[in-house]
Homo-oligomer: A and B are copies of this chain.
Amino acid sequence: MASTMGAGANRLDQPTTPITQLVPFLGAGSPVQLLQETLEYAISPKNYLVRRLGEEVFKQRSHLFSLPETLIDRDTYGTGVHKQHFEQHIATLLGKKHGLFFITGIQAQLTTVKIHCDRAGNNRVAWHYRCHLEIAEERAFAEVFHLQRTFIGKSQLQVPTVEDVKAITSLPVDERPAVVLLELPNRELGCKTYPFEDLVQISKLCKAANVKLHLDGARLWEIEPFYQGKSFADIAALFDSVYVSLYKGLGGAVGAMLTSSDEDFMDQAKTWQRRLGGNLVASYPALIDDERGFNLNIGTFYLKWQKMCSVASAIMEATKKYRTKDGKPIVFFEPEVPTCAQIHTHIQGVTVERLTAARNEVEKTHRISVFRSTRPWQALDEMDADWALVKGGENPQDKDAAARKEKSKEDSDNDHHFFEWMIRNENLAIADEVYAKGWEALCQLITAGP
């Protein structure tokens, strides 16, 4: 279907031609369609996967799959054969002894840092400025657990270095955090990531300093191919605890997995999961769909990364001659070379109104939707100034948060925009030329004069 849409994009002025979405929706499909997929999978995981992937691909990837050994049973308050089997499968893939399903990553990671802190008798944590716990969880780490956070690194636009972590692990014991959290890749930085050798060094530093190291692996599935020759287990082995997401790249309905080889840690995780209201009477609707998504997408992320590389390259080639008034490229990617299937695409030198009009025009004329929406980009110095407020105090005033929120809305004064996107299964079937064509048409309109 996606390839039909791609081909369709070449026929101009056919209002009935389906629109090719270069940036597909997360969780596209109505609940009826989604539940049909879940049910078909539950009836026979193998038949479902063979239908979706083909016999050949099914065989190639079958060593990666989590396939239930018996009819899927209903879990109750955390227990169940199927639930445990899936948890164990993910844990084993990550080289850990134990896995625990969580309904959200927020809960999984809050639980994790709380336990590491409690066991150390130390309520200090350390993470990057743009960590999910910092910017997207209503400051739960502080509001719920009263943890004190130190930032790692010198700028919120750079992935921390070994030296940055060393500055933390070499703090006096009474200032040192109980746990360092690394997000791998760093989503807010367009999925920039850490060299493997840095991770090895960081892991050693933490161990030597008696600081636990936790992996926010929300996009670990996506970044693993970057670490050529290293397995999920090789990466996870450097961390004491690892969280992975089951939706996002994997496309499950909702949920996350926390893994560790420390049995006592996992027992405590179950207790905190219940305390936070995450021990569900039944998880089967989420669990089954998450296993479906895992099996459908595991083993695809190298392909998706390669596709992102060729797509980004095609778009850059097609748009390189289009420049802002002061000579900067209108379109660029961050990072320049994709680290994985997900990236940030930037557009500068145009107001959001004009950009939106151009996008709509391309969609109408070429039946290509180049993106869905953008967010305003703030220059590095602006952002760091904003964040100094946060960095300085443990509990910034709500008005600062409100101001930042306000700033994150697009308005006419902004002329630099970006959006985050990833290559999904649907995108693999769209030819690079279609991306190039859509983006060139967009740039033409942007630079066409008043």
**Chain A residues near B (Cβ < 8 Å):** 26-27, 29-32, 34-36, 38-39, 42-43, 71-74, 76, 82, 102-108, 110, 137-140, 143-145, 247, 253-254, 271, 274-286, 288-289
Contacts and interface: CB of A to CB of B under 8 A. Distances in A.
B282 A103 contact: no
Most chain B Cβ neighbours within 10 Å, of A36, A38, A286, A289: A286
Given A29-B74, A32-B39, A39-B36, A110 B277 contact: yes
B74 A271 contact: no
B35 A35 contact: yes
Nearest to A288: B31
- The copy count of this chain in the complex is 2
A275 B35 contact: no
A277 B104 contact: yes
A279 B281 CA distance: 17
A35 B34 contact: no
A105 B29 CA distance: 29
B281 A254 contact: yes
Given A271-B138, A278-B104, A285 B38 contact: yes
A30 B285 CA distance: 11
Contacts of A277: 102-108, 110, 140, 276-278
Contact of A275 (B144, B280, B281): B144
A35 B32 contact: no
B30 A73 contact: yes
A43 B281 CA distance: 25
B35 A276 contact: no
A188 to B, nearest CB: 18
A139 B72 CA distance: 33
A73 B139 CA distance: 30
A294 to B, nearest CB: 16
A26 B282 CA distance: 11
A251 to B, nearest CB: 11
5 contacts: A26-B281, A35-B42, A36-B39, A103-B280, A285-B289
A364 B35 CA distance: 40
B72 A276 contact: no
Contacts of A253: 282, 284-285
Contacts of A106: 274-275, 277, 279
A282 B252 CA distance: 10
Nearest to A271: B138
A292 to B, nearest CB: 11
Given A32-B43, A106-B279, 5 more contacts: A26-B281, A30-B72, A140-B275, A254-B285, A285-B285
B32 A42 contact: yes
Which 8 pairs between the two chains have the least Cβ-Cβ distance?
A107-B277, A285-B285, A140-B275, A106-B277, A104-B277, A31-B284, A35-B39, A254-B282
B274 A138 contact: yes
Contact of A103 (B271, B278, B289): B278
Given A281-B247, A282-B253, A286-B285, A30 B274 contact: no
A275 B281 CA distance: 21
A137 B285 contact: no
A172 B105 CA distance: 43
A34 B38 CA distance: 11
Contact of A74 (B31, B39, B278, B279): B31
